[in-house]
Chain A
Amino acid sequence: MPRWGLVIDLDRCTGCQACVVACKHENNVPFSTPAEATHGRLLTWIHLVPAETPGRVGPSALPLMCQHCDRPPCTDVCPTSATYLSPEGIVAQVYPRCIGCRYCTNACPYSVKVFNWSSPEWPGAMAEMRNPDVSLRPKGIVEKCTFCHHRLMLARERARDEGRDLAPDDYVPACVQTCPAEAMTFGDLDDPHGAVAALANNPRAFRLMEELGTKPKVIYLREGE
Chain B
Amino acid sequence: MARALLLTAVAAISAAIWVVLLPPAAVDQPIPFDHAKHTEVTCVACHRGAERSARAGIPEVAACLNCHATPPRPVEVVLSAGPALPGSDGQKPTWDELARRARPAWVRVTRLPDHVMFSHRRHVTSAKLDCASCHGDMRARRDALTSAPVRLDMNACLSCHKTEGATEDCVACHR
Contact = CB atoms under 8 A, between A and B. Distances in A.
Interface of A: 84, 86-87, 90, 92-97, 132-136, 146, 149-150, 153, 157, 160-161
B20 interface: no
A12 to B, nearest CB: 30
B111 interface: no
B117 A133 contact: yes
A152 to B, nearest CB: 9
B115 A96 contact: yes
B132 interface: no
B169 interface: yes
Given A92-B169, A134-B175, A161 B125 contact: yes
A135 B171 CA distance: 11
Nearest to B54: A132
A157 B122 contact: yes
A171 B117 CA distance: 19
B73 interface: no
A157 B117 contact: no
A96 B117 contact: no
Contacts of A133: 54, 117
Contact of B126 (A86, A132, A161): A161
B126 A146 contact: no
A59 B66 CA distance: 62
A160 B122 CA distance: 10
Interface of B: 54, 113-115, 117, 119, 121-122, 125-126, 169-172, 174-175
A93 B115 CA distance: 12
Contact of A153 (B114, B115, B125, B172): B172
Given A132-B54, A135-B175, A149-B175, A157 B126 contact: yes
Contacts of A86: 169, 171
6 contacts: A94-B170, A95-B174, A97-B170, A136-B114, A157-B119, A161-B126
A95 B169 contact: no
Contacts of A84: 170
A95 B126 contact: no
Contact of B171 (A92, A132, A157, A161): A92
A157 B126 CA distance: 7
Nearest to B171: A92
A146 B115 contact: no
A88 to B, nearest CB: 8
Given A92-B171, A94-B174, A153-B172, A135 B114 contact: yes
Contact of B113 (A96, A97, A160): A96
Contacts of B171: 86, 90, 92-94, 146, 149
Contacts of B121: 157
Q: Which interface residue of B54, B113, B175 has the most chain A CB atoms within 10 A?
A: B175
A151 to B, nearest CB: 11
Nearest to B121: A157
A147 B117 CA distance: 17
Contact of A96 (B54, B122, B125, B174): B174
Contacts of B115: 95-96, 135
Contacts of A92: 169-171
B68 to A, nearest CB: 32
B107 to A, nearest CB: 21
A134 B113 CA distance: 14
Contacts of B174: 94-97, 135
Given A86-B169, A96-B113, A135-B175, 18 more contacts: A84-B170, A86-B171, A90-B171, A94-B170, A94-B171, A94-B175, A96-B174, A97-B170, A97-B174, A133-B54, A134-B117, A134-B175, A135-B117, A146-B171, A146-B175, A153-B122, A157-B126, A160-B126
